[in-house]
Structure 1
Amino acid sequence: GQIAFSLPGLGSDFVGMNLHKWIGNPIGAGLLYIKKERIKEMNALFGDITAPDNNINKLAHFGTTPFAVIMTIPDSLAFHKLLGTGRISERLHYLKSTWINELSKDPNVEIVTPPGKDLSCAIASFRIKNKKTAEVADALLKDHGILTTGRTLGKEGCIRVTPSVFNSIDDIKKLVTAIRSLA
């Protein structure tokens, strides 16, 4: 994803995640991590009782298998590895910081996400004073072709912006110009 980590290093017994957001896999593939000692506590899926109680394969049966999506996982992981998590993280933070730094100077724009690399990477949120979240998100999409997401956060809500490694600095400048036109 966006930051370097290891699943065992998280110290979690269970982790589930999709692979489409930050690994770049097509929608429909995910990852399930279960600490080895905890596998035996999980019930087999769909009555699949052929795998031993302590074997993760008892959780692999989930209906019709989307083989085309699953076959893309190795290529997605290889491409992610080629880019490198460190470079991905730096790029995403740079893109986020660029638009945040520009818009933090605007008195009508409130940046909700704290600055700094230690609290967020790509994702950051803002709100425009006296504007409804849904209206801002709709205007960004309809008038400027920029996809953002309105989120509930307190009474006012906020707009989440999530650049990708594929976004250019020109895309970020377009975002800044669009938000300023709405502010």
Structure 2
Amino acid sequence: MVSRRNFLSGSGGVMGGALGMAMAARPAFAASGSDDWPADPPFRFDGDMTDFDAAQAALLPLYEVRRDFATFDAAYYGVMTRPVQAAYRARSEWVNRNHALFLRGGSPGHPRDPELDASRAAVAKMLGATTPEIALSAGGTEALYALIANYAPLRAGDAVIYADVDYDEMQFACDYLAQSRGARLVRFSLPEPHTQANILAAYETILRDTPRAKLLLLTHLSNRNGLVPPVKAIVAMAKARGVDVILDSAQAVGHIPFTVAETGADFIGFSLHKWLAAPLGTGGVYIAKDRLQDITPWLGNRIHEADDIRARIPTGTVDFAARLTVPSAIAMQDAIGLEAKHRHLLRLRDYWVDRVRDVPGLEIMMPDEPGRYGAVTGFRLPGMRGPDDAKKAAKLFLDKYRLLVVAKAGLASGPVLRVTPALFNSSAELDRLVAAIKAERRLFA
């Protein structure tokens, strides 16, 4: 186990190496007033990701985060590593120095759209798509609103299906289709335990019993309890009945290794500032090239041509530096290795879950079925019932133990406390969480 004391006293070499890598990755400028593009040197990561303790020792110095609180909320914001933060800082300075010259189309040698297209291309490569199938957005929520609200084939009376595990705002977007387009909403709850057999049976039933179903919202990894459903099988099941799927991959990109082909989905919205740990306000949409016309341009957007996926996203003055930094975040992930990153996140999750299994009455919301969960997991303290109980417990964990866990409502079975460890979390911090759970097991007795 990597304790704080052992880490700080015995990792001078690791700390120095990690900080050296971070500083080496900071793009440098030439003389003031130059137009040198802040290009990154190759990102390097020499940590041993096969060993849990060694991986922590290598990963923790990559992050500049406060340690007086243990924050388990990577499902909200993943936090940039030091190298990516340096790249973002350099690009912010560059954009500020070139200001409207760049924003109006590009300073000499650095046209705006081709530079942004490099970010689109990096995302496309990461997901196994093509650049024309990717548009950047201001996050996963914006991306999914664009897909849901502008889904063209929907007709009045057609049914739109979503489940209790789906994200609140994406449910709201589906509700909007009822208000604006005359869709019929079909809401259902996934049965617990969330085994693959139970999930597939539930989707088979709801699709069979909804003959006018046209659109299904499917969440790749639930922000509520961490469920990872069998996406490809559900998408195939829906398509066999003529139902399109909009896949919410906001919690999946940079968390679960996958390609768009492996999902089978034609429409995917995702975040890049969560698990990829790109700057805040970055996300994107994927639309299969032969389905582009089934998502109409955003509110009649004609800044881009109708056959350009970028017309499907709001057009405005965005944080260009953030979008230009996306390839740096992907390069950092590639240096660590997505498969290795995923394995480490699962080890962090299993570390705390395994240590609270013996708490009488405690509910862990995800079964241990392989492939059905990632780092996100919800739990209930014994006797915890309504949303007020969940909020009370979350406040207590924060105020008394300096642990940030999140109260989440929305599941049919009741609210949960959500724990989402990140690469910057340690087993020592998870030990504090375990101790707090055991100490407060009678909070609602």
TM-score of the pair, normalised by structure 1: 0.91
State the alpha-carbon separation in 2 of the partners of residues 50 and 165 from structure 1. 39
Counterpart amino acid of 1:172? L
Residue-by-residue CA offset, 1:156-182 (whole Å, 9 max, x unaligned): 421111000111110111110111111
Moved more, 102-111 or 51-60: 51-60
- Give the 3 Å change call, closer, same or farther, for CA 156–37 of structure 1 in structure 2: closer
- Give the 3 Å change call, closer, same or farther, for CA 72–151 of structure 1 in structure 2: same
Indicate whether 1:180 and 2:434 are aligned: no
- Give the 3 Å change call, closer, same or farther, for CA 50–121 of structure 1 in structure 2: closer
Counterpart amino acid of 1:144? Y
**What is the percent sequence identity of the aligned residues?**
29
State the alpha-carbon separation in 1 of the partners of residues 412 and 351 from structure 2. 26
**Structure 1 residue 42, shift from structure 2 partner:** 2.8
Residue 416 of structure 2 is matched in structure 1 by 158
Indicate whether 1:63 and 2:316 are aligned: yes
Residue 136 of structure 1 is matched in structure 2 by 393
Moved more, 27-36 or 67-76: 67-76
Unaligned ranges ≥5, structure 1: none
Q: Which has the higher contact order (CA 8 A, sep 6+)?
A: 2
Choose 1 or 2 for highest CA Rg.
2
Indicate whether 1:169 and 2:422 are aligned: no
Residue 147 of structure 1 is matched in structure 2 by 404
Moved more, 41-50 or 155-164: 41-50
The equivalences for 1:77-116 within 5 A come to: 77-116=330-369
**Structure 1 residue 155, shift from structure 2 partner:** 5.1
- Give the 3 Å change call, closer, same or farther, for CA 102–50 of structure 1 in structure 2: closer
State the alpha-carbon separation in 2 of the partners of residues 65 and 46 from structure 1. 18
- SS of the residue corresponding to residue 33 of structure 1 reads strand
The equivalences for 1:8-87 within 5 A come to: 8-45=261-298, 47-49=300-302, 51-59=304-312, 61-87=314-340
Unaligned ranges ≥5, structure 2: 1-253
Q: Which runs of 4+ in 1 moved over 4 A?
A: none
TM-score of the pair, normalised by structure 2: 0.39
Moved more, 111-120 or 22-31: 111-120
**Structure 1 residue 43, shift from structure 2 partner:** 2.5
State the alpha-carbon separation in 2 of the partners of residues 125 and 61 from structure 1. 34
Counterpart amino acid of 2:331? A
**Structure 1 residue 55, shift from structure 2 partner:** 2.2
